Chains A and B, each alone.
Chain A
Amino acid sequence: MFFSQTQIVLTGTLLLGIVAGMVGTFAVLRRRALAGDVVAHSALPGLCLAFLAFQSRSIIVLLSGALLSGLLGAVTVSLLKRFTRLRDDAVQGIVLSVFYGGGIALTRSIQNTHRNDPGADLESFIIGQAATMLKGDVLQIAAVAAVTATIVVMLFKELKLLSFDEQFCQVQGWSAMGLDILLMLLTAVTVVVGLPAVGVVLTAALLIIPPAAARFWSDRLSRMMMIACAIGGVSGVTGTLLSARYDGLPTGPLIVLTSTAIFVLSWIFAPHRGLLWRSREVTDLEMYLPWVESGDTVPPASGPHVSAQEVS
């Protein structure tokens, strides 16, 4: 079968958005949203070192290097947290900036030593170039998406438990650390396959924004995850179409901006947690006043739906 370039890119960004939404749901719920950012930034030096070591621009080689150093960054974060008195935020900032600095230094020296070799331009990984996506890249993303989806479906119950009550998960006999490492691996792999398309700086957005938007629409994990995947996919497709329509607009940032727009719309219009609904709910709450004053333990049956504030 033959596909046009736009179709290839569209499939790629669609799958990327879906898999990022799936993995990102857990990251957002577990308050680990910026872990993806750290992995993305720390992937850069590994990518460069892989290029230097193998002198090849084969995407598999580069991404393996990126994955290794991204994981090294994640491990460094936990080690620094364990062995120093530095706080979470400082540790993340340190790992992110030092690895990114190393990556910048390496890309620059690669560029300076391979002046005549256009293939050595690794700087495209920083902002990303979805337009140059090849069929192989898309197959890779598809493989990652399939594996991730299988793992998430198989371990859905355990991951759900981990996301909402880590202690209980451990008490029930599940290895919280093992599940944690698994999620970290899934995040790292997703971030790394997303690098060529969206780049180091913006990959984190794919993990954070769609799940955060989906959170407005549902309090059920399964539904929230499906909505996050849908928002991720729609953002990917819309961003790609926009960048194809208006020549010269970079794809990665457009995908991010689309998902931001969906986030804002969800914030305004979503039932129960949305701005409009909540502004109505405040008046609804007045219904409860007689009940509160009466001192009954059973609330009136015709009360408003459980308010969003309680669930947050």
Chain B
Amino acid sequence: MLSTLADTAALLSALVPIPFDALTAQLAEILDLPATEVQNAFWTMAVGALCAVCCSLAGCFLVLRRISLLGDALSHSVLAGTAGVYLVTGRVDPVPMLCGAITAGIATAVLTQFVHKAALVPEDSSIGIVFTSLFAFGVVVVSQAKHVHLDLDCVLFGDLAFAGVNLHPTFGWLVPESFRSLVPTLMITLLLLAVFWKELRLTSFDPTLAVTLGFSATLMHYLLTTVVAIVTVSAMDVVGLLVVALLIVPAAIARLLTDRLSTMLMLSCLIGVSCTTIGYLLALRWDSSAAGLSAVVAGAELLVVIVVSPKNGLLGRLMQTLRLRVRICAEDVLAGLFRRQERSDAPDGLVQASVPECHMLAGGGIMSVAALRWLRSRQLLQQAGPVMSLSETGFRYARSMIRSHRLWEAYLQENFNLPPDHLHDPAEAMEHFIGPGVQQQITEELSQSAEDPHGRAIPDVKRQEVR
């Protein structure tokens, strides 16, 4: 099986001989930089991107299932796994260490649940107990293994900056060493997504429904945990403990931007890749840690998304509130003009008000300026010199507002038995949110809808225009 795989890969590389060297050399010429530097940067960014894609895919499910901190716990306990294998075998071989690390990752998930359920410890405390203990064990063992290559620094900080330096020929391609673990990891992750797409989606959003439909949420949980452990272990080599940042932050950003799982996965991958790439470039510029700066870039991207995200962003919500306030002020002007019309005997739509009077109806201030602009741009108000008057559409709009207002007053009085002087204020607030549908509903429920509690006529929208 393995040999066939290797043969296929070798065949593939022979068929698709990507001349990475030539390409990077060309790029170096264009950028006027030393060829080795460009090649190094290219491969580092490739490793970072691969790492980010694996982490983002797995991280989306962590965020959706609200077990993000499991990613944090796993990244700490992985050290205990490698250390344990070292303690038993006394050697540093990549394959057993990888297995040990993955086992430790799964053990963390199991132990956390065990301590929580069997020892009646709250879940957050049990996470805290398990991962700090395992990490402490790892640090103790590693501190005793100074004579061999078991690098605590690598675990704590990662060495993304050097990931592109060690190129190894693998199946005919000359690629960085990290590709050997990252490419299979990506494949395993994609395989899990492809095979269990439906189950993963179901158990992430509605575990109870999943169980009643006969899908084991527990099985999915541990399957996912296993994949997260594999992803964490292979990404740890490159980014260290900061694998948490790549797991959680891009997924969280994507979560803020979309409600579709497939879109979320793709977005988080893109965001993850941008984080590691920009982080690496900044690290080159400032002579600092690429993994650390990737996390910082991820945080900055999150901040930007929180502020400007179209649907849920702070800016979007602020704009929405402002727009609503302008509409309310404008509608107050319309309703005020309509009332003035009622009091005068002028024919419909001919009542006039000066511009300052309109401002006063809108409540004054900068909002009233915006409200009058809003009204003019929608041609609800006409301006003739210093006076303003309702246009035909404006008159109909205003009439509907007043109808909403008085219907609500009548409704409140009939159903809640409020004293008459308590009716105006709630109606003044509600009138802006009662559309034709609700008007209809209220009309149907009222015993009479010709007059409001104050004895004023409730204007009927269906009545033919007088003008």
- Report which A residues bind B (CB closer than 8 A): 28, 31-34, 37, 80, 83-90, 92-94, 96-109, 112-113, 123, 126-127, 201-202, 204-205, 207-209, 211-212, 215-216, 248-250, 252-254, 256-257, 260, 263, 267, 273, 275, 308-309, 312
Assess whether B136 is in contact with A90, with CB atoms less than 8 Å apart: no
In the assembled complex, B369 has its CB within 8 A of some CB on chain A: no
Residues of chain B from 271 to 325 with CB closer than 8 A to chain A in the complex = 283, 286-289, 291-296, 298-299, 302, 306, 312, 314
Contact pick for A90, options B68, B289, B296, CB 8 Å: B68
Q: Which chain A residue has the least Cβ–Cβ distance from B294?
A: A101
Assess whether B132 is in contact with A205, with CB atoms less than 8 Å apart: yes
Contact pick for B139, options A31, A127, A215, A309, CB 8 Å: A127
6 CB-based A-B contacts, threshold 8 Å: A34-B127, A92-B68, A98-B245, A101-B292, A201-B76, A209-B129
Assess whether A93 is in contact with B68, with CB atoms less than 8 Å apart: yes
Given known contacts A84-B312, A97-B242, A308 and B288 CB-to-CB distance under 8 angstroms: no
Residues of B within 8 A of A212 (CB): 121, 125-126, 129
In the assembled complex, B248 has its CB within 8 A of some CB on chain A: yes
Assess whether A209 is in contact with B133, with CB atoms less than 8 Å apart: yes
Q: How far is the CB of B76 from chain A (nearest CB, A)?
A: 7
Given known contacts A83-B314, A109-B287, A104 and B292 CB-to-CB distance under 8 angstroms: yes
Q: Which chain B residue has the least Cβ–Cβ distance from A44?
A: B292
Q: Which chain A residue has the least Cβ–Cβ distance from B71?
A: A93
Assess whether B137 is in contact with A257, with CB atoms less than 8 Å apart: yes
Residues of B within 8 A of A250 (CB): 139-140, 143
Contact pick for B132, options A102, A126, A209, CB 8 Å: A209
Q: Which chain B residue has the least Cβ–Cβ distance from A309?
A: B120
Residues of A within 8 A of B355 (CB): none
Bound form: Cα–Cα A100–B292 in Å: 7
* Chain B binding surface SS class: helix
Residues of A within 8 A of B143 (CB): 248-250, 253
Given known contacts A97-B249, A102-B292, A204-B128, A256 and B136 CB-to-CB distance under 8 angstroms: yes
Contact pick for B296, options A101, A107, A126, A252, CB 8 Å: A101
Assess whether B144 is in contact with A249, with CB atoms less than 8 Å apart: yes
In the assembled complex, B266 has its CB within 8 A of some CB on chain A: no
Residues of chain B from 93 to 151 with CB closer than 8 A to chain A in the complex = 118-122, 124-129, 132-133, 135-137, 139-140, 143-144
Given known contacts A94-B248, A109-B286, A252 and B241 CB-to-CB distance under 8 angstroms: no
Residues of chain B from 244 to 286 with CB closer than 8 A to chain A in the complex = 244-245, 247-249, 251-252, 255-256, 283, 286
Assess whether A202 is in contact with B135, with CB atoms less than 8 Å apart: yes
Residues of A within 8 A of B43 (CB): none
Assess whether B288 is in contact with A90, with CB atoms less than 8 Å apart: no
Given known contacts A93-B248, A249-B144, A257 and B291 CB-to-CB distance under 8 angstroms: no
Residues of B within 8 A of A88 (CB): 66
Given known contacts A85-B312, A101-B293, A273-B120, A93 and B136 CB-to-CB distance under 8 angstroms: no
* Other 12 A-B pairs with CB < 8 A, given A83-B306, A90-B248, A100-B245: A31-B125, A86-B255, A105-B286, A123-B156, A201-B156, A201-B241, A209-B129, A209-B133, A253-B136, A257-B137, A257-B140, A267-B119
Bound form: Cα–Cα A216–B121 in Å: 9
Assess whether B136 is in contact with A101, with CB atoms less than 8 Å apart: no
Bound form: Cα–Cα A212–B286 in Å: 43
In the assembled complex, B452 has its CB within 8 A of some CB on chain A: no
Bound form: Cα–Cα A216–B293 in Å: 42
Residues of A within 8 A of B299 (CB): 94, 98-99, 101-102
Q: How far is the CB of B135 from chain A (nearest CB, A)?
A: 6
Assess whether B294 is in contact with A253, with CB atoms less than 8 Å apart: no
Q: How far is the CB of A280 from chain B (nearest CB, A)?
A: 16
Q: Which chain B residue has the least Cβ–Cβ distance from A89?
A: B68
Q: How far is the CB of B265 from chain A (nearest CB, A)?
A: 16
Q: How far is the CB of A83 from chain B (nearest CB, A)?
A: 6
Interface centre among A99, A260, A275, by most B CB within 10 Å?
A260
In the assembled complex, B63 has its CB within 8 A of some CB on chain A: yes
Q: Which chain A residue has the least Cβ–Cβ distance from B307?
A: A83
Q: How far is the CB of A143 from chain B (nearest CB, A)?
A: 26
Assess whether B72 is in contact with A97, with CB atoms less than 8 Å apart: yes
Q: How far is the CB of A261 from chain B (nearest CB, A)?
A: 9
Residues of A within 8 A of B139 (CB): 127, 202, 250, 252-253
Q: How far is the CB of A31 from chain B (nearest CB, A)?
A: 5
Bound form: Cα–Cα A80–B303 in Å: 10
In the assembled complex, B408 has its CB within 8 A of some CB on chain A: no
Residues of A within 8 A of B157 (CB): 104, 108
In the assembled complex, B67 has its CB within 8 A of some CB on chain A: yes
In the assembled complex, B69 has its CB within 8 A of some CB on chain A: yes
Contact pick for A97, options B129, B248, B306, CB 8 Å: B248
Q: How far is the CB of B21 from chain A (nearest CB, A)?
A: 30
Residues of A within 8 A of B132 (CB): 201-202, 204-205, 208-209, 256
Bound form: Cα–Cα A65–B249 in Å: 25
Contact pick for A84, options B122, B240, B256, B286, CB 8 Å: B256
Q: Which chain B residue has the least Cβ–Cβ distance from A216?
A: B119
Residues of A within 8 A of B136 (CB): 202, 205, 252-254, 256-257, 260
Bound form: Cα–Cα A83–B309 in Å: 12
Q: Which chain B residue has the least Cβ–Cβ distance from A80?
A: B306
Bound form: Cα–Cα A254–B306 in Å: 41
Q: Which chain B residue has the least Cβ–Cβ distance from A242?
A: B140
Residues of B within 8 A of A209 (CB): 128-129, 132-133
